[in-house]
Structure 1
Amino acid sequence: MTEYTDQERQTLRTAAFGAVFLVSHADPGFFASFKESIAGAKALAGASPELQSVFKSGGLPEIPKGSPAELESGVLTALQQSAGILQAKSPQDLTEFRTVITAACDQVANASGGVKDTETAAIAKVKSAIGA
C-alpha cells in the first residue's frame, strides 16, 4: 500500500469530493443536489480498496470556499495536484483515480433528470485537470 502524507491524503480527498461538488453545483437545486451527492458517493465507493482508504481517511475534505470561480479554481488545482501525487507515488492508481472521478462526475450529472450543458462543461474541466 502506498504511503501518503496527511497533506497528500487531504489533497486527494478534496479533489475527489470537490469534483462531485463542482458538477453537482453546476445545476443547482436542493433535491437535485441531494440526489447527485448520493450518486457521487456511490461512485466513489466503487474505487479500489487503496483509493477508498485514502477517501475515507482523515477528516472531512476541504472544499474550497469563496465565489463560484474560487471554488472551481480550488477544486481544479486539487485535481491537478492529485494527478501529480499519484503519478509520482503510485502510477497504477492514477488510471483508477481518473476512472473513478470521471464515473462519479458522470453519475452525478445523470442523477437528476439528465445532463445539463453546465454539468457537461464542469465535467470537461474536471477531466482536463486530471488528464483524462
Structure 2
Amino acid sequence: MQQRLTAEELLTLKTGAFGAVFLVSNADPGMLALFRESFAASGAMSGASGVVKEALTTGPLPKLPRDSALEVESVVLPALGRAMGILREKAPQDVPVYRSVVLAAADRVARAHRGVAAAEAAVIDRIRDALDEPA
C-alpha cells in the first residue's frame, strides 16, 4: 500500500538523487564534462516511475551547499538514507526504483567523460553505502 508523500519528503528524495549526481560530477570536474554529465544524468532519471518520478519531476530544485565537497556530502548522503527510509515506510515498491535510478545516474555521470575516475568511483561507493544503510 502506497501512502502519499509530503512536499518535504519529495524534496528529500530529490535532494538525495540530484545531490548524488552533483557529488559525482564534482569528484572529477571539467567544463566540457559538465554538459555531457548533465545529459547523462537526465537520461537515467527520466526512466523513473511512481513516487520516484513524481519526486524528481515536481517541486523546487534542492538547495545544496556549494562551499566544499564535504559539506555537500554532509547533506546528500543523509538525504539518501532518509529517502530510503521514507520509501520503505510509505512506498516500499519504489525502494528498488529509487536505488536503481540514483546509482544509474551516478554511474552515467561518471562514465560521461573519459570513463570513471578513481575519485568518482569512491563517491559512487559512498552513495551506494548511504542507499544500503538501514533506516
Pairwise TM-score range, normalised by the shorter structure: over 0.9
Whether 1:69 aligns to 2:63 is: no
How much does 1:66 deviate? 2.9
**3-state SS in 2 of match to 1:25:** helix
Aligned residue number for residue 113 of structure 1: 114
Partners of 1:42 and 1:64 in 2: how far apart? 24
Once superposed, what is the RMSD of the aligned Cα atoms? 1.4
In the alignment, does 2:16 pair up with 1:15?
A: yes
Q: Structure 1 regions of 5+ residues with no counterpart? A: none
2:51–2:91: 8 Å Cα contact kept in structure 1? no
Percent of matched pairs sharing the same residue: 45
Alignment of 1:51-66 (within 5 A): 51-66=52-67
Partner of 1:44: 45
The aligned residue for residue 124 of structure 1 is: 125
CA distance in 2, matches of 1:87, 1:52: 16
* CA deviations over 1:35-77 (Å, ceiling 9, x no partner): 1111011101111143211111111122234322111111101
What SS does the corresponding residue of 2:27 show, helix, strand or coil?
Answer: coil
CA distance in 1, matches of 2:74, 2:4: 27
Letter paired with 2:127: V
Name the TM-score, length of structure 2 as normaliser.
Answer: 0.92
